[in-house]
Structures are given as structure tokens and as C-alpha cells.
Chains A and B, each alone.
Chain A
Amino acid sequence: MSLEVRDLAVQFGGVAALGGVSFAVAPGRITSLIGPNGAGKTTAFNVITGFLAADRGEVRYEGVPLTGLRPSRVARRGVVRTFQKTNVFPQVSVFENAMIGLHLRGRAGLWSVILRGRRVREEEAELAARAGEILGFVGLAHRRHETASALPYGEQRLLELAIALAARPRLLLLDEPASGMNPPEKTALMGLIQRVREQGVTIFLVEHDMRLVMGISDEVIVLDHGQVIAQGPPAEIQRHPEVIQAYLGGG
């Protein structure tokens, strides 16, 4: 298993956002985490990536615990996330956004950047080339000189993806990547996510758009009221009685 979550519990005051959740994400596949609003999906993402401390339970990535690590340390292990709300570096150019994403691929320290010797210049050129490739990959090459905040919404979401990809994830967590996108943009995004997976990146995503989820997922995990109520391939999940009830209500 790539990512293993065991008995994860998070309490917000009297509310159990996660009440002892366990699931696993298989390497090289696209796994989706779905569930009604307030089911605990983003909470799970926040705990996995170190933005929130769990009250109980454990997160392991490739067998090594991530619990208690700061987000930057989690990123260093190859686990990178995007955010539910649009999150870019607004006042700098698209290119600079990608360059910031490449932070972990550079090594230059204080003295070497002040002296700016040959090695630092080569590293910068190398990073700039990488940034260009990544922007090309998500389809933002033509926007590289624009200020990030000036991009239309859909392109800002692509830029977020570019920033995350620049950090060279082996496990990429996408928190509602399609929210706010129009149908053609969503279709393009599906293709993009599949191409990322083809490069060997494991994908774990939270998404409300069922066409997208059912269209690209290998595995779907359903969360409701802080509990996993179902897990399986999309076709199975769509027929699952508890899932139908959680989404349609009733009872």
C-alpha cells in the first residue's frame, strides 16, 4: 500500500469530524474520497499532509509514519496536496509560481546564492527549464509572464496543479480540483489527472463531481459522518445501498 490511514480520529469541540477512520490507497492508481458535505474529507487531507494534528490514529506512507510531521516535511517525503479553495502565489508571475513549487529540487544555500557561482547558475537554468515544462504540461505555457491573480479561475486551478506537480509528488492529493470549472475544463482536467497518473504518480482526490469521480477513479472510498461506509470500484459504489442512502437521505 502507498498510503495507510489507521483509526484516524479528529474532534472539533463536540463534533467528531473523523471518528476512527481506516482506509488505504494503492500505489499507481487513482483513488477518490467522496461523501456529503461535512463528512470529514478535507479534515482527512489536512491530517495526512500535516496541517492538522489528529487526536488518535496513524498515517503511514510507504510504511513510514507521517504523523506529527510538519507540512514541509510531509512534502519532502513525496506527499503533496492542493487546496479546496484556490491557492496560488497571487502577486507573482505564473512562471515564478512554478519556480516556487520547484523549491525542493534546488539545493543552493545562503552563501552559494550570494556568490552565485557556476553551480548555482546551472541549477537556476535547470529549474527554469523544469518550470517551463510543467507549465507546458498543464497548458499554461502561454501565460508564463502573467501575474497569477490575473488568470481566469479555471487557469488558476491549473496553476495550483502545476505548483503541486513541481514539488515532484509520488502521492498527489487533490482537494476538489474541479470545483468552479466549467464542463470542458473538467474534461480537460480529467485527461490531465490521468496523464499525471501515467507518469507513476499515485492520485488521491476529494471531489463532488460524480461524472469526474466515476470517470477516472480506480477505487472510491465513501465517507459519511466521519466514518468509512463503503470502499470499492466505482461501479460497485454506485450500487451500494448505504452510499445511496447517505447521498439521497431518507431512512
Chain B
Amino acid sequence: MSRIGGAALAAVLLAAPVWIWSPYHLHILIMAGIFAVLALSLNLLLGYTGQLSLGHAAFFGIGAYTSALLTLRLGWPVWPAFAAAAALAGLAGYGIGRVSLKLRGAYFVLVTISFAGVTQLVSVNWMDLTNGPLGLPGVPAPSLAVPGLFRLSFVGKTAYYYLVLAVAAGAYFLCHRLVRSRIGRAFIALRENEALAESVGVEGTRYLVLAVVVSAALAGAAGSLYAHYTRFVSPEVFLFSYTVTMAIMVVAGGKGTLAGPVVGAVLFTALPEVLREATSWQWQMVLYGVLLILIVFFLPKGIVPTVAAWLRERRAPS
């Protein structure tokens, strides 16, 4: 993206709460931001290392519960709880990666699905810790304060929008730095041709585990953001549908690109809402499905790579 385009986009995003006055629309933007972090996280695995995690909701849920429990039960401030959520999710990712990535491919997919199933069962059944299906209400909102000077609480949607925007931008830049480095090249090498990558010294398991750790930590951070936004955490954070939504965002947006998952996140957070307003509930899911099929059928590489290729061709007709 050109410098001017990037600056314009930043300006639009920063000014969004000025022209979006409806709290409902702001809510959609906040959810899109949280999903953008999740999609970026899944994309690191699926798009760059080529490994599919179908249990990503587990890391999201671990992040949400960690943050909620630390603030509610131990009285931690939100910021360290946010960091701990990312760290604990990353640690879970390390464990999953170590046990399953010796096998790769379908086995990795199965282990991640099972892991998500187990975490959900724990959240439902470990009443003492998680309060079971009743969930944990009253999760505090984050605030920034310098004693005696000022105090900024992120209770309102506008303030939370900026918080989510900052975290999403941070996740984007982290992924950007990572994939355009020696480490990102190792990820891509393993996706493209693992035997050849090994033959030039890329340690497969080591880099795949690293990718899972970073990816899981990002998902955990998104979970924490979600918990402190909705102020309520229940076992629904582990739902398989979260993982499916992330995968749709990554694939439709364009896996293996940085902008793709973000575009996918905005589009597929807004789409169900648009459909809800436009049609009756019977047609919502049908239309959602039809649109998804059309995108996958006509833009198999995803929206961003297709548009990028089209722009390149227009600029340099050969």
C-alpha cells in the first residue's frame, strides 16, 4: 500500500467515531476489530505455515477466561490480565504445538479440534472456577489513570473502539514484521516445501511451534479484549462457530496476505448485520452462504490477492 493510501486509511479509522454516531454501528466496528486480531492470528498459521488450526476458539476462550478470572477473582488490573491472557494462550499453543506438530496436516487439525472441545467442557463443568454455563458477569472495563491527574475509562463504545483499533494495529504490525523476516521466510518455506526447507537448515518443528505460540497469544489477546468489552464471559467463547468465522475471514479475505484477514474480518462481521436489516431471518443464513460460495468460486485466492493482481495488471499492461 502506498504511503498516502496508508495515511488516508489511518485518518478514516481514527475519525470513524466522529461520523459513526450510532452505538450499534460502533459495536460492529469494535467486533470487526476483535475479529481482525483473530483472523490475523489464524492467518499466521493457515496462510504462512500452511497448517490449519480448527481449535482457534480455544485460545480465544482461554484468553477471555484468563482475563476475566484474574480481574474478578484476584483483583488484578486489566492491563496485566490482558498480558497474562496472551501469555497463557501462547503457553497452551506451545503445548499443543509440541504434542501435535510432529505429525502435521490432518493430525494437527484433529488435535486442535479436540483441544477446543476439551477447553469448552472444562469451562462448562468446572463450576468452582468458571461458574459453568452461568458464566462470569461483571468483568471490569479497562481504564487508564495517572493518580491525581486524569482517569480515562474504556466503558464507552468510543473509547473502546480506540483501544481495539490500537490492539488490532499492533497485531497487524507484529504480523507484518514477523512475516517479512527470516522467521516469516522459514514459515513460508515450510508451507511451500518442507523437505527442501529442512535441507537448507530450517528446523520444521521448531518454527511451526513458534508460529502456533505467536498465533495463540494473539488469539488470547483478542479473547481478553472481548471479555473486557462485553463484560461477561461464558462457555460460548469456545464455540466452534468462532473458529469457522475466523477461517472464513482468512480464506475469503486472502490467506497468506496481511490485508486479507483484516478485510475479511470487517466484511464478515458487517455482512450478517447488513443481512439482518435487509431480509427476514429465514433468508439471512441462506444469503450468507450463497455470498460465501460466490466469493470462494469467483475469487478462489481471496479478495485481497485478486484485487491486488487486478490493480497490477491495470498499472502495467504488457
Interface residues of A (CB under 8 A from B): 49, 51, 70-73, 75-76, 80-83, 87-92, 96, 99-101, 103-104, 106, 108-110, 113-114, 116, 120, 123-124, 127, 163-164, 166-167
Contacts and interface: CB of A to CB of B under 8 A. Distances in A.
A70 B202 CA distance: 10
Contacts of B200: 75, 80, 100-101, 103-104, 163-164, 166-167
A225 to B, nearest CB: 27
7 contacts: A87-B195, A91-B192, A96-B188, A110-B183, A116-B181, A124-B182, A167-B200
B273 interface: no
Contacts of A103: 182, 185-186, 189, 197, 200-202
Given A89-B188, A120-B181, A72 B201 contact: yes
B185 to A, nearest CB: 5
Nearest to A109: B183
A167 B201 contact: yes
A81 B182 CA distance: 21
Nearest to B184: A113
Contacts of A81: 199
Contacts of A75: 198-201
A179 to B, nearest CB: 17
A71 B199 contact: yes
B192 to A, nearest CB: 4
B199 A49 contact: yes
A116 B203 contact: no
A90 B193 contact: yes
A100 B185 contact: yes
A73 B206 CA distance: 12
B188 A100 contact: yes
B192 A92 contact: yes
Nearest to B196: A87
Given A101-B200, A103-B186, A113-B183, 18 more contacts: A70-B198, A72-B201, A75-B199, A89-B197, A92-B188, A92-B192, A96-B185, A100-B197, A100-B200, A103-B197, A109-B183, A110-B178, A113-B177, A113-B184, A114-B177, A123-B182, A124-B182, A164-B199
B204 interface: yes
B199 A89 contact: no
B179 to A, nearest CB: 10
B188 A83 contact: no
Nearest to B210: A110
B166 interface: no
B195 A100 contact: no
Contacts of B188: 89, 92, 96, 100
B237 to A, nearest CB: 27
Interface string B185-229: 110110011011111111110000010001000000000000000
B46 to A, nearest CB: 14
A174 to B, nearest CB: 12
A100 B198 CA distance: 11
B251 to A, nearest CB: 16
Nearest to A77: B201
A113 B178 CA distance: 6
A80 B182 CA distance: 19
A83 B177 contact: no
Contacts of A70: 198, 203
B203 A88 contact: no
Nearest to B185: A100
Nearest to A127: B182
B198 to A, nearest CB: 4
Contacts of B178: 110, 113-114
Contacts of B177: 113-114, 116
B196 A113 contact: no
Nearest to B214: A110
Contacts of B199: 49, 51, 71-72, 75, 80-83, 164, 167
Q: List the 5 shortest-distance A-B pairs measured between CB atoms, nearest first.
A: A113-B181, A75-B201, A89-B192, A71-B198, A104-B201
Contacts of B286: none
